[in-house]
Chain A
């Protein structure tokens, strides 16, 4: 039986890709490790290597084919002791469906089950998933930021592109702004957020560092004391734990300790929270941690427009700003206003969806669950108002209170752990400042109180979901 060569998954979040090029043709002999094809994803072009030796008997997916799903057989390989007649042995019904892009039939049962939850997760990153709903909604209701004049045109951009543009615009504007971090320059960013910056600004201002977070974060602080405006990228915020002392003891506290003489005008940015199955040491949400620190400003945007407007604001801000991004959101597209200088105010929440029955408060990737839940609840006759906090410190509690005075119910959503979460702070603030307006206790939907597990089924259980948000809103609405 010939071996099927399947469309490979090349990253934790990849679902499909373009088969851009075959570097072998039918009849070619290949050895394990030979490059046989090139694949393009939104992040990069990658080479596919043969895993077995043999002869390329048949190419099933032509080069140039877009959106080839992971696991689709793309070619057939004949082993040493096989010949063309073995091709016939491949069950013909099977073969037809596989060539049409069906999933690999050889995948055994438990695997298929195991895989399912992840597919669910990955939908977060898919354009035809809930995202298109968001995009459509944002289009119908353009952001009501005062900074966007009426009649402004919008363009679709990924969060990744918006972040890059924000940095590029600020670097053009101010020669003191520079970017440093691991793989930000030559590699173009581990997640390609700094793509093109080295080309435009050169190695003086776009700097690859060694893998020494504590050192380069502290070095950034020193440079900021001297008046430069560093953007320090952490490959992910998980690694910023090594730099925690410099961020908090040096960056956040110096202005105060120096009686206002000198501060730390800089940005620490990078992806925060879970990606897809990267397990406990690479999946932590630090929103609540940083939001506790006086002296820091903390931002976690959801949309591309907010990412752009707020990153520009963060770079200009004379204080240290923690700018939390999300790997799964990087590839999602949103409308971004076409303005020469689109800057949003730090510290202002946004009403992402208007409603009257209950308030859902979230930020960052949590907004995906919040908005999806709001859609489902609308169908069930519960009209939710969804607030995107955008900034976690200073936190715009006024906007939340105003909404709760109208709806009398509140549910918070975040990926982080429950104890001392952003949600628990909002709940306590509402109890103090809007006690008489609450018709039900504030409920928080959070990540589960455990380190992030690796197994697909457990990871799914550990993360918050739209379903849990729906249940919480129904509970505060006494709907069941």
Chain B
């Protein structure tokens, strides 16, 4: 199986990143034990390979349908983002535009573990999250071009988009802001006694913010059903995790609050799904928050204007060629699920079509009416 060895780990050599799973004795797949330790397949029982170093979760076996679904969704995010990058280059998208390319397996795998009613909150790197929650690519792209049919009628842009219908609560431009907000959504679930879970995404850089720990404390104190998904893509802008964080095993950041945390191979959609199932079960059953640290990688610059001098081309190329999440699934589709090259190409073509339509729509949709400048500041009371 594919093991995405991340560069920062290569550098630290001895690092053991298996959180508290070492003591795990739970044997039931997908079921959390009392302490929130992972099920069978936990690293403790695995040889000390790169993967064991990396992920507390064995990737579960995907059926053809699951693999195909994962392939489609991840490809949609990738092609959408490539198109967004292109439109940015043409001046059709303005401001900051943070692409999700490379990290697709994280949102797609997590989304496969959710159920209707679960909420999602994330940062400014949000296009993938929106597509994964089922938001319409046309509406997302039209928001990127600042047009009236965009999800925020052109008023929010890339970093600030929302969908009540899809339970997507943003799209937040300020580092760390998504964490208390996602915790608050979990609070509402608890308050209403529904069994929904709030999925709160944030970056490795954000993981050092004070508000994260204020949230952790409350989430545990009140057993809130929240899954904190740290998308550790190794860099916060131009700063590597090791240069910004005193301790780099971010999955352990909940320890002093007694929040279980696990590291997951975020380049393998099956491992992500397994972790997601596990954490969702834990949160839904009233055991409170859980932290999932997804080891992932962004292929592009932090935003469009990042010259990316802080990492080598080889580092990026290595991730792309050896650990690409989409290539992994494609390989399985062809080698294990009997799909031909042409079958796969047909899917690619279909996705390209969806993205091109979205781009077409987003370029032809008119700008918001000037009167929109003054609306939505207050709700009519």
Verify that A and B bind, or say they do not: yes
Asked whether B377 is an interface residue with its Cβ less than 8 Å from the other chain, the reply is yes
Take A208-B239, A461-B373 as given contacts and tell me if A114 and B364 are in contact as well, using a CB distance cutoff of 8 Å. Answer: no
Asked whether A415 is an interface residue with its Cβ less than 8 Å from the other chain, the reply is no
Take A182-B237, A208-B239 as given contacts and tell me if A47 and B146 are in contact as well, using a CB distance cutoff of 8 Å. Answer: no
Asked whether A262 is an interface residue with its Cβ less than 8 Å from the other chain, the reply is no
Partner pick for B210 among A11, A215, A282, A451, CB 8 A cutoff: A215
Chain A stretch 162-221: residues in CB contact (< 8 A) with chain B: 182-183, 186-187, 190, 208, 210-212, 214-215
**How would residues 260 to 279 of chain A score, 1 for a CB under 8 Å from any chain B CB and 0 otherwise?**
00000000000000011111
Partner pick for B305 among A10, A113, A186, CB 8 A cutoff: A10
CB–CB B209/A458 < 8 A: no
Count of A-B contacts judged by CB separation below 8 Å? 190
CB–CB A208/B243 < 8 A: yes
Asked whether A379 is an interface residue with its Cβ less than 8 Å from the other chain, the reply is no
Shortest A451–chain B CB gap in Å is 7
Q: Do most interface residues of chain B lie in helix, strand or loop, or is the interface mixed?
A: loop
CB–CB B96/A282 < 8 A: yes
Asked whether B147 is an interface residue with its Cβ less than 8 Å from the other chain, the reply is yes
Asked whether B174 is an interface residue with its Cβ less than 8 Å from the other chain, the reply is yes
Asked whether A12 is an interface residue with its Cβ less than 8 Å from the other chain, the reply is yes
CB–CB B310/A186 < 8 A: yes
CB–CB A212/B305 < 8 A: no
Take A211-B176, A214-B210, A239-B174 as given contacts and tell me if A51 and B367 are in contact as well, using a CB distance cutoff of 8 Å. Answer: no
Asked whether A226 is an interface residue with its Cβ less than 8 Å from the other chain, the reply is no
**Distance of A241 Cα from B304 Cα, bound (Å):** 25
**Distance of A212 Cα from B141 Cα, bound (Å):** 31
Asked whether B156 is an interface residue with its Cβ less than 8 Å from the other chain, the reply is yes
Asked whether B131 is an interface residue with its Cβ less than 8 Å from the other chain, the reply is no
Contacts of A45 in B (CB 8 A): 307
**Distance of A208 Cα from B94 Cα, bound (Å):** 28
Chain B residue with the shortest CB-CB distance to A70? B91
CB–CB B368/A458 < 8 A: yes
B interface residue count range (under 10 / 10 to 19 / 20 to 34 / 35 or more): 35 or more
Contacts of B372 in A (CB 8 A): 453, 455, 458
Of A103-111, A141-149, A363-371, which binds chain B? Answer: A103-111
Take A211-B209, A281-B160 as given contacts and tell me if A43 and B305 are in contact as well, using a CB distance cutoff of 8 Å. Answer: yes
**Distance of A111 Cα from B366 Cα, bound (Å):** 8
CB–CB B208/A210 < 8 A: yes
**Distance of A204 Cα from B140 Cα, bound (Å):** 45
Contacts of B94 in A (CB 8 A): 12, 118, 276-277, 454, 456
Asked whether B92 is an interface residue with its Cβ less than 8 Å from the other chain, the reply is yes
Q: Do most interface residues of chain A lie in helix, strand or loop, or is the interface mixed?
A: loop
Asked whether A448 is an interface residue with its Cβ less than 8 Å from the other chain, the reply is yes
Of B31-39, B81-89, B330-338, which binds chain A? Answer: B81-89
**How would residues 226 to 244 of chain A score, 1 for a CB under 8 Å from any chain B CB and 0 otherwise?**
0000000000001101100
Shortest B297–chain A CB gap in Å is 13
Take A211-B176, A279-B157, A457-B367 as given contacts and tell me if A111 and B92 are in contact as well, using a CB distance cutoff of 8 Å. Answer: yes
Partner pick for A453 among B158, B305, B308, B373, CB 8 A cutoff: B373
CB–CB A238/B368 < 8 A: no
Residue numbers of A with Cβ under 8 A of B are 6-12, 14, 32-33, 35, 43-47, 51, 70-71, 104, 107-108, 110-111, 113-115, 118, 182-183, 186-187, 190, 208, 210-212, 214-215, 238-239, 241-242, 275-282, 448-451, 453-458, 461-462
Question: 4 other contacts beyond A44-B305, A239-B174, A455-B368, with CB at 8 A cut-off?
Answer: A35-B313, A208-B239, A453-B154, A458-B370
